[in-house]
Structure 1
Amino acid sequence: MSELSRTPLHSWHVAHGAKMVPFAGWDMPVQYSGILEEHQHTRTKASVFDICHMGEFKLRGAKARNALSRIVTHNLATLGPRRCRYGFLLNEDGGVIDDCIVYCMADDDYMLVVNGARVDTDFAWIKSHLPADMFFENISEMTAKIDLQGPESCRVLNEATGEDWSFLTYFSFKRGEFDGDPMVVSRTGYTGELGYELYLREDKARALWELLLQNPLVKPAGLGARDTLRLEMGMALYGQDLDEAHTPAEAGMASFLKSEADYIGKAKAFDVRESLIPLVLEGRRAARHDDPVLLPSGEAVGRVTSGSFAPSLGHAVALAYVDARHAQGTDFLVGKGAKPLAATRGTLPFYTQGTARVKL
C-alpha cells in the first residue's frame, strides 16, 4: 500500500485532535468535535474545510476555449471571465470520468478543479485530447484550497481579509491577494450554504486557516460533516453517485449538458438505463453504499450509492441507482436480511433551507 499524501494543514489537524482517515489517497480529517456538531455549525454559522486534496489545472492559449469545449460538457460559449461552471469529463460511452468546475480566468484562459482521486487520470485524458502546442499544467501540488461555508461566511471572510466580498454572486469569482500572494475567491461550495472556496499558494494555507479560525463564528469541519451536508442537498459524490459506468442523465444531471459543442461522449450522454433517485427513510437508521434496493414484492431493482442520517432533517436519506423502468415508483425497500428498511421516493434537495444562493 502506497503512503498516504498529506495536505499543508495535516500537522494542524493532528495537533488539534482530528480523527484522521484515508480518503482518495490522502490522510484527511473526518471529524474534530463530532460530525453532528460540525454539520449543525455549518448550517447556522461558518466552518472551514481542508480541501487541499483537490486537483487544479491551468489551460491557456489561442483557441483554448474551442479545444476545451470538445473535452468537457460545460457550455464555454456562454461562460465569461470571472465566472465558473460545473460539468463533466465524459468517456466515449458518455460515462463520467469526473465532475469538475471550470473557471474562466480570461478569454482563452481557464482553471479546472477536479477530484483528488482523479487528478492523474483527468490530466492524462485532457492532455491527450488537446493540441500539442496548448499550454496545460497541473498546479495541484503548489495550490491549496480551503472552503469557508455557512450563512456567516461572508462576514467572516470580510473581517479576515479587510475586503467586502458581498458583491460576488453564486458561481462567480475574483482574483485577490493574501499575504502578498495571489488568491482566487469563488462563491461556490458543496454544502448548500453561502460559502467561498479559497485558492492560494500551498505554503500560505496554514496562515489563512488560522486567521479564519480566530473568528469565534468559525470552527473546523471534517469530511464526515461535508458528506452529510452535501447529501442533504442531493449533491453527487464521484466514485459513489458518479462513475464511468453511468451517464450524467442517469445521475439526474442532464441540465448540465447544455453545450452545443461536439464534446466527447455527447452522443450517449443522455442515455438512461438506470436513474439516480432520492430516497427518504423514516427513522435514523441509514442505508449504506451498495445496499440493494427492492420493490415491495422483494424484486431487486437497484442499489444505494450514498446514504446517511440527515442531521438537519431528523431522519435518514439516500441516493440510489434504480432500473429506469421502476425509477418513478414511490415505495421501496432498502437493505439485506429479513428486515429491510422502508423507503419512499423523495425530491431534491432533501434540505430546502440552504443559503447558497442568497442575495447579499
Structure 2
Amino acid sequence: MEQLRTTPLTGWHHAAKAKMAPFAGFDMPVQYEGIMAEHAQTRTKACVFDICHMGEFRLEGPGAKDALNRVVTQDLDTLAPGKCRYGFLLNEQGGILDDLIIYCLGPDQYMLVVNGACEENDFSWIKARLGTGPSFENISSATGKIDLQGPESLGVLEAVVGGSWRDLKYFSFLETTWRGKPIIVSRTGYTGELGYEFYLGWGQTPALWESLLAAPRVKPGGLGARDTLRLELGYPLYGQDLDTAHTPVEAGYGAFLTKTGDYVGKAGLSTIREHLVPLRIDGRRSARHNDAVCLPSGEQVGVVTSGSFAPSLGHCIALAYVRDGAEKNEAFVVKAARVDLPAARAELPFYTQGSARKKLG
C-alpha cells in the first residue's frame, strides 16, 4: 500500500471530518460541507484551499535566466521581478512533462511552482539541463502553500496580513512578512475568481490557515470544488488534460508560445494530431474521463479528458481530445456509461462572470 505524504494541515482536515483521498501522493481533502456548497462559497464569498502538495524549486545565481530560458516555454527575457508567468516544461518531442508558473524574484533569481505529482521528475529533468552555474534547490518540503479564492478575498487578505493590496496586479506577487517571517503573496488563481496564493514556511502554515478561517465569511474548500471551479474556466489538469502524448498547441495553448529563442521540445510543436475541445452537455448526467467521443454518425473521433456538472451554469461540461479535423464539428456524442450524451462544441471559458481579473485600484 502506498504511504501517503501529509501536509502541515492534514491533521486539521481529519479533525474537521473532511472526506479524504489520495492525490499526487498526498492524503488530501476532497470536501468538507460538500462540493456544491464549497463551489458556491468560492464564487460568491471566499474559500481557502490547502495546496501544500505542490512543488517549489528555487533557482539563482549567474546565468540562471539564460539556463532556464533554454528549458521552459516562458520567455524570461520579458519577465520582470515581481511578475509570474504560466507555461510548460516539455520533453524532446514537445509533449508536456508539466505545466508550471515561474516567479521572477530578481535578476537571475526564480521560483518555479510545479504540480506535486511531477515534482521529483521535474526537478531531475530541469537540473540535468541547467549546467553547473546557477544554484538549483528543491524547497518543496520546506514550503507551505495556501490559496485564498473568491470575490471577497481582498478584504480577507488585508484583514489578516495587513496593509493595502489593491495595487497587486494579476499574475504579480510581493515578498513581505507575516508575524515576522517571510511570505510571498501572489495573485494568479485557478478558480476564475479574485484570489491570492501564500507561500510560507512549512511550520508556519497552520497559523495562517486558521487566521484566514477566522475571518468572516471564509470557509475551507477541497479538491472536489477546486476541480469544478477550474473546469468551468476550461483550465487543464495535468495528468488528465495535459500529458506527454500532447503538445501545448494541441491543448489550445499555442498563443502562449511566443518566445523566439530555442528551448527543449520547440521543434515538436508543429506536429498536430489532436485538439482539446470544450463541450457542452445539457442536463446533469456528466461525461467522465476516457469516455469515447463520436460524431453523430457513430464514428469515434476522440476521448473525454475532464467532465463534470458545472454548478455555476446548471448543465454539464467537458474537455475532450479529438483528432485533427474533427474539432471543426459542432455536434458530438459522448458514449457515457449506459447512455449516449449529445454534446455541442462550446467556447472557453465556459463560465465568464469570474472576478479573477477585476481591477481593484
| TM-score bin (small chain) | over 0.9
**Cross-structure match for 1:128:** 128
Q: Does the 8 A contact of 1:248 with 1:270 survive in 2?
A: no
Q: Give the aligned partner of residue 229 of structure 1.
A: 229
Match of 1:35 in 2: 35
Matches within 5 A, 1:168-317: 168-317=168-317
CA RMSD of aligned residues (A): 0.8
Could you tell me whether the CA contact under 8 Å between 2:57 and 2:112 is conserved in 1?
A: yes
Which residue does 2:333 correspond to in 1?
333
Read off the aligned partner of 1:306 and give its amino acid letter. Answer: S
Map Cα deviations across residues 90-145 of structure 1 (whole Å, 9 max, x no partner). 00100000000000000100000000000000000000001123200000000000
CA contact (8 A) 2:84 2:104 kept: yes
Secondary structure in 2 matching 1:269: helix
> What is the deviation of 1:250?
0.3
| C-alpha contact (below 8 Å) 2:57/2:137 kept by paired residues | yes
Q: How many Å separate the matches in 2 of 1:96 and 1:65?
A: 21
Give distance in 2, aligned partners of 1:166 and 1:35.
30
After the TM superposition, which of the residue ranges 115-124 and 335-344 deviates more from structure 2? 335-344
* 3-state SS of paired residue (1:183): strand
**TM-score (norm. length: structure 1):** 0.99
Structure 1 residues 287 and 336, CA, compared in 2 at 3 Å: closer, same or farther?
closer
Q: 1:39 offset after TM fit, Å?
A: 0.1
Q: 1:264-293: CA deviations, max 9, x gaps?
A: 000112421100000000101100000000
Q: Distance in 2 between matches of 1:315 and 1:356?
A: 22
Cα 1:336–1:30 change in 2 (3 A) is closer
Counterpart Cα distance in 1 of 2:303 and 2:18: 32
1:154 — aligned with what?
154
Q: Distance in 1 between matches of 2:298 and 2:177?
A: 58
SS at match of 1:190: coil
Could you list the per-position Cα deviations for residues 58-102 of structure 1 after superposition, in whole angstroms to 9, with x for gaps in the alignment? 001111111000000001111000000000000010000000000
Amino acid corresponding to residue 286 of structure 1 in structure 2: S
- Equivalent residue for 1:20? 20
Measured after TM superposition, the shift of residue 262 of structure 1 is: 0.4
- The aligned amino acid for 2:19 is K
Please report how far the alpha carbon of residue 338 of structure 1 lies from its aligned counterpart in structure 2 after TM superposition. Answer: 6.2
Q: Percent identity?
A: 61
- Secondary structure (helix, strand or coil) at the match of 1:27 reads strand
Preserved contact between residue 250 and residue 276 of structure 2 (Cα < 8 Å): yes
Task: Give the Å deviation of 1:194.
Answer: 0.3
Give, in angstroms, the shift of residue 336 of structure 1: 4.3
Deviation, structure 1 residue 164? 1.1
Match of residue 65 from structure 1: 65
1:89·1:96 contact (CA, 8 Å) conserved in 2?
yes
CA distance in 2, matches of 1:139, 1:124: 14
Q: In structure 1, what is the equivalent of residue 115 of structure 2?
A: 115
SS in 1 for 2:203: helix
Structure 2 distance, partners of 1:270, 1:310, is 33
Q: Which amino acid aligns with 2:244?
A: E
CA shift at 1:302, angstroms?
0.1
CA shift at 1:339, angstroms? 3.0
Task: Provide the rounded CA distance (Å) in 1 between the counterparts of 2:333 and 2:123.
Answer: 40
How many Å separate the matches in 2 of 1:67 and 1:206? Answer: 36
Per-residue deviation, 1:324: 1.1
**Alignment of structure 1 residues 81-120 onto 2, 5 Å:** 81-120=81-120
Amino acid in structure 2 at the alignment position of 1:161 = V
Aligned residues: 360
Higher mean C-alpha deviation, range 259-268 or range 227-236: 259-268
How has the CA–CA distance of structure 1 residues 338 and 17 changed in structure 2, closer, same or farther, with 3 Å as cutoff? Answer: closer
Q: CA deviation at 1:215?
A: 1.1
Code of the residue aligned with 1:237 in structure 2: it is L
Deviations 1:282-318 (A, max 9, x none): 1011000000000000000000000000000000000
Counterpart of 2:70, as a letter, is: R
User: Secondary structure in 2 aligned to 1:251?
Assistant: coil
SS state of the match for residue 289, structure 2?
coil
Contact 1:247 / 1:270 at 8 angstroms: preserved in 2? no
Name the CA shift for 1:140/1:337 in 2 (closer, same or farther; >3 Å). Answer: closer
The answer to whether the Cα contact below 8 Å between 2:62 and 2:133 also exists between their aligned partners in 1 is: no
CA distance in 2, matches of 1:139, 1:327: 41
Counterpart AA for 2:256: F
Change (3 A) 1:164 1:302: same
Per-residue CA distance 1:239-258 (angstroms, 9 max, x = gap): 00000000000000011111
Give me the whole-angstrom Cα distance separating, in 2, the residues matched to 1:339 and 1:205.
45
- C-alpha distance in structure 1 between counterparts of 2:259 and 2:81, whole Å: 17
Distance 1:209 1:336, change over 3 A: closer
